[in-house]
Structure 1
């Protein structure tokens, strides 16, 4: 009987059992939206040689509950899937416990990681926002029109680095990114709203802009500004609004003309590669930094395209989701 019991682990492995004896543990922390579930499923496939554990982070999840789960699981690395999880992990790294203070990981699906993780040596990441360069060049490859000046309203305090990188990249493509700091007249919600109201127009910076780039920033896009300013202006202005959010291209909203948005399966593959590099190759998260998304999906609003007189280049539109 003893001999039979000792053979069980080997037998299970031979039969392809999902039990991973002695496998490295990775703790996945984040909320449980449908998009995050999609990413988690893809990560599970990519990291099948690891033991993955999930902890749902809710709006009311406390620091102590978060810390308690980490101490309970004792993972080799963590995977962070929203801003709250990243914020709590950065607090964890201030703990006196050597294990907690040195726990490494990677993050994605959180906004503004380029800024949040700029000086972080323990958390790497994949930026969830689609780069301005990708949105604008993808649009140009699909739509038969010339674009030379694009307006972007952004918060300099949070997005200056991202804006400057995009500006340099687009200059090489002959596109001028006309950036306006939404906090120029103050950083209160009222001041930001007034700034958007005043500056979201076609005539900007001594010239006319050809398009508007909409950033994913809840300080700019909120209940007070979204419908009354952003959507209303998109419907009245005679230029296309472009963004990195699929739901903004919608027959109900008629907001953005075009969106390039994350391919969640590929996003999961990118962040899984970072986790593997950290665990197996000993690469430090600080060395990995925060990478941009690689693979994207696209959507366009045909009604707005027709209204603006914009035509698709048919040869390049096979992978485009068209909204009537």
Structure 2
């Protein structure tokens, strides 16, 4: 065994520490580690971005490009890429995901190897299908999670639940139907088409079938702005469901507000928590030398619950109300 002089030993020790710190900084705080975030305007998206920035501030150079809704011009994206090549791109919403998909196909192979993380896209798994280098976090709380949480809160029976959905949500509904079966909950689902002019009649017929013939105990409504437009809410959903006096489980907080008189209960992805989850995926990519893992889709991990007490007053189990995050009186 070698016997080093104490001063030399201390010198070697500190040299090792300095090298370790240098290596750590090289791996985790490189000047080249740029993140590009593409987002539409909106409070929800801003909260998600805040979650990403909070987790990545010390380790990455983050650029946020806010592109207005309906903007199909990729000029700002091209301008960014003229001077910077990001290590990863985070895209919020379906529209910008479609815009970037088009941009990436036009600029192969320059951007084809850059990982993409998609959040707040409807039917995220299908939405990222055209990008070989993408992964995503679901924008919807799993149906089985929302229904089982609601069942725990109420004294009424929740054995059959009705669902009306379009093709964009089919995979979500089919997967969760199997999961609900394991929980002793039968899903009665009706798929409608994509023609907007037929939606009013299709939704009306589907609701009547689920309420009168299937006699479902509750309704679960996916986050689909197309079938939840203001016009359809006012002319079909709210009038029919209020007459039936059936609980409605939704995935958006605004739909539970008492003044709307629509949703009874919601389990909602927390936007800041979703942003933090996206940041975790960014660090995972960095650990993996910016190569995508086998898993491409992740459920949202951070959720909160909202109750419309006025609509739930007759069926709520007050002993379990302490599990609810927010209650609208």
Please, what TM-score do these two structures have when normalized by structure 2? 0.85
Q: Is the 8 A contact 1:278 1:284 kept in 2?
A: yes
In the alignment, which residue of structure 1 is the partner of 2:232? 225
| Distance in 1 separating the partners of 2:143 and 2:30 | 44
CA drift of 1:313 comes to 4.2
Larger Rg: 2
User: Which one of 182, 200, 208 corresponds to residue 201 of structure 1?
Assistant: 208
In the alignment, which residue of structure 2 is the partner of 1:159? 169
User: Which one of 99, 103, 106 corresponds to residue 88 of structure 1?
Assistant: 99
CA drift of 1:53 comes to 0.9
CA drift of 1:120 comes to 3.3
User: Which one of 278, 281, 298 corresponds to residue 274 of structure 1?
Assistant: 281
CA drift of 1:294 comes to 1.5
| Distance in 1 separating the partners of 2:40 and 2:60 | 21
Please, what TM-score do these two structures have when normalized by structure 1? 0.86
2:310 is equivalent to residue 303 of structure 1: yes
| Distance in 2 separating the partners of 1:76 and 1:173 | 42
Give RMSD over aligned pairs: 2.1
What 5-or-longer segments of structure 1 have no aligned partner?
A: 1-19
User: Bigger CA drift: 63-72 or 109-118?
Assistant: 63-72
CA drift of 1:224 comes to 3.0
Q: Deviations over 1:172-211 (max 9, x none)?
A: 001011110112xxx3212222111112136459531001
Q: Is the 8 A contact 2:48 2:276 kept in 1?
A: no
User: Bigger CA drift: 171-180 or 289-298?
Assistant: 289-298
| Distance in 2 separating the partners of 1:228 and 1:145 | 28
| Distance in 2 separating the partners of 1:119 and 1:80 | 14
User: Bigger CA drift: 88-97 or 36-45?
Assistant: 88-97
User: Which one of 31, 36, 61 corresponds to residue 22 of structure 1?
Assistant: 31
The 1:72/1:88 distance shift into structure 2, 3 A limit, reads farther
The 5 Å alignment of 1:213-292 reads 213-282=220-289, 284-285=291-292, 287-292=294-299
2:326 is equivalent to residue 321 of structure 1: yes
What 5-or-longer segments of structure 2 have no aligned partner?
A: 1-28
| Distance in 1 separating the partners of 2:45 and 2:178 | 32
In the alignment, which residue of structure 1 is the partner of 2:14? none
Q: Deviations over 1:242-276 (max 9, x none)?
A: 11101111121011000111112221121111122
The 1:135/1:274 distance shift into structure 2, 3 A limit, reads same
The 5 Å alignment of 1:160-179 reads 160-179=170-189
The 1:160/1:97 distance shift into structure 2, 3 A limit, reads closer
| Distance in 1 separating the partners of 2:130 and 2:95 | 18
Q: Is the 8 A contact 2:122 2:168 kept in 1?
A: no
How many residues matched? Answer: 300
CA drift of 1:295 comes to 1.9
In the alignment, which residue of structure 2 is the partner of 1:293? 300
| Distance in 1 separating the partners of 2:231 and 2:83 | 42
User: Bigger CA drift: 247-256 or 135-144?
Assistant: 135-144
The 1:65/1:38 distance shift into structure 2, 3 A limit, reads same
More helix as a share of residues: 2
User: Bigger CA drift: 136-145 or 173-182?
Assistant: 136-145
Q: Deviations over 1:274-297 (max 9, x none)?
A: 122223313644623121111211
Q: Is the 8 A contact 1:77 1:279 kept in 2?
A: no
| Distance in 2 separating the partners of 1:227 and 1:192 | 13
| Distance in 2 separating the partners of 1:266 and 1:126 | 11
2:143 is equivalent to residue 136 of structure 1: no
Q: Is the 8 A contact 2:36 2:65 kept in 1?
A: yes
